Amino acid sequence: MTTATDTILTGADANEKARQSNMLSPRFYTTDHDAFDRISVEPLRAEWDAMMKEYEGDNNHDHFQRDATFLDELNACAPHWSPEMRQEVLDFFVSSLTSEFSGCVLYNEIRKHVKNPDIKQLMTYMARDESRHAGFINMSLRDFDLGIELGKLKSDKPYTFFKPAHIIYATYLSEKIGYARYITIFRQLERHPEKRFHPIFRWFERWCNDEFRHGESFALIMRANPELLSGFNLLKIRFFLLAVYATMYVRDHRRPLLHEAMGLESTTYDYEVFRITNEITQQVFPIALDIDHPGFRQGLADLTAIADAFDAAKKRGGVTGLLGKVWHGGRALVQFSKMYLLPVKRQKLLEQPRMRPSW
């Protein structure tokens, strides 16, 4: 097991970490905007309009502001972090900020380019929320003089092109898994306030309701366009489920101290997040990964070990390092393919497409 790969000591390190694009780092996406113009939500018009009303009501408009005790609390906690723990906390902030900002950039770009009024309105609201989320995390990095220059990140970070259908699967999942992650942490620290090593976790409950609602929007889009949820597309859904779950698992296992400090253990925490996400996906996906299948559990453990071996080869550098990277990269691909072929669970879609965040 390794901790965060690169050390964050200066603002330049933090900005570089956010800019990097690799298998495990949150990416920036671009897509075919014209295809978004052709999406119709007409079959679920009433549900859609009700959701837009919720966005308009903006019940979190005053949430992302610090209260009077925030800094006192931080100053009481931070000096007790070990240097390794501090790195994990900073790594967590940089990668969380990058994925919040990734949503902000993507939703804003779609908003700017589409003519479809429903999609335009949705993207405006979601970009608003993600911009608040990213800004709030950035304040916590600035406490350590490690603020991320968001404008520069937007122009310097590489973009990955995804077809609209893939954007919909991937964003739906990352919003819902984001909800499941934040609520699991919030509930744990609600039970054990003495383990709350940073004040930001007090914000997570109302915060994750934003993510839940973002996920609901994509759920409605998919339910209004059922061809996205059948036939060949099921193979793609299966791919995205596995890619999102596996990335989260490997990434989280690089931050064992962070979870330990919360009184969680990375594997238990991740399986709780998978369980919640699987329950939520009953609103859209006719299939779910069998997270209790021994092959699945072993597969994730093996992928984590391969990722560690890949990192060790990268650190070694030179010809042997390069050969090691190729070898372990190939092993990761074989392992991922084996997991992709594991049996999945069929599930009946919930009658009502919308769900409440009740975890």
What is the binding site for Fe ion (CB under 5 A)? 100, 130, 133, 175, 211, 214
CB of 103 to Fe ion, least distance (A): 5
Nearer to Fe ion (CB atom), residue 47 or residue 100: 100
CB of 122 to Fe ion, least distance (A): 12
CB of 115 to Fe ion, least distance (A): 24
CB of 274 to Fe ion, least distance (A): 19
Under 8 Å between Cβ of 229 and 285: yes
Nearer to Fe ion (CB atom), residue 80 or residue 356: 356
Nearer to Fe ion (CB atom), residue 63 or residue 297: 63
Nearer to Fe ion (CB atom), residue 130 or residue 311: 130
Angle in degrees, 0-180, between the axes of helices 294-316 and 233-252, rounded to the nearest 10? 60
Nearer to Fe ion (CB atom), residue 88 or residue 100: 100
CB of 139 to Fe ion, least distance (A): 15
Nearer to Fe ion (CB atom), residue 100 or residue 118: 100
Nearer to Fe ion (CB atom), residue 96 or residue 116: 96
CB of 126 to Fe ion, least distance (A): 6
CB of 171 to Fe ion, least distance (A): 8
